[in-house]
Amino acid sequence: MRHGKKFNHLSRQTGHRKSMLANMACSLIEHKRINTTVAKAKALKQFVEPLITKSKEDTTHNRRIVFAYLRNKYGVTELFREVAAKVGDRPGGYTRIIKVGNRLGDNADMAMIELVDFNEIYNGGKKEEKKAKSRRGGKAKKSETTATETSAPEASAEETTEAAE
């Protein structure tokens, strides 16, 4: 029976597991992407996402809470400065786990875990703009803009034909 088993113990005792997750979280924050096993990546995701959420609000209390988990002042500084600035408008889901195959030595499932906002390949190198979600008047505005856009090229085409004659 699995009563009270809410997270993966990773075949480690409590102190070792907490230290390992803290070290992996600091490496993820510093390098923005790390390779590890799938089980450790899933455990790290549960460990680091609440800390990133805490870092959105830069208060002394939140810094002390995060430092109690990470135990690395450079990791905490980087988290509150760079990472929090990029994920400030994201409501959650700060990490992505990508499976990369099996390890050669013991055939363990390997994965790459990365911070979502720091991957320029998926984001196209630019930040996407949020669009207003309004149902009223949306089509009328779009039709007005397309009408002005289509009329402008026609006028320029007429001017070029007159200039050519």
pLDDT tens series, the chain, 165 aa: 889 888 999 999 999 999 999 999 999 999 999 999 999 999 999 999 999 999 999 999 999 999 999 999 999 999 999 999 999 899 999 999 999 999 999 999 999 999 999 988 877 655 555 566 667 765 555 555 555 555 555 555 555 545 555
DSSP 16-82: HHHHHHHHHHHHHHHHSEEEEEHHHHHHHHHHHHHHHHHHTS--HHHHHHHHHHH--HHHHHHIIII
Enter the pTM of the model: 0.73
Angle formed at CA 144 by CA 140 and CA 146, multiple of 5 degrees: 115
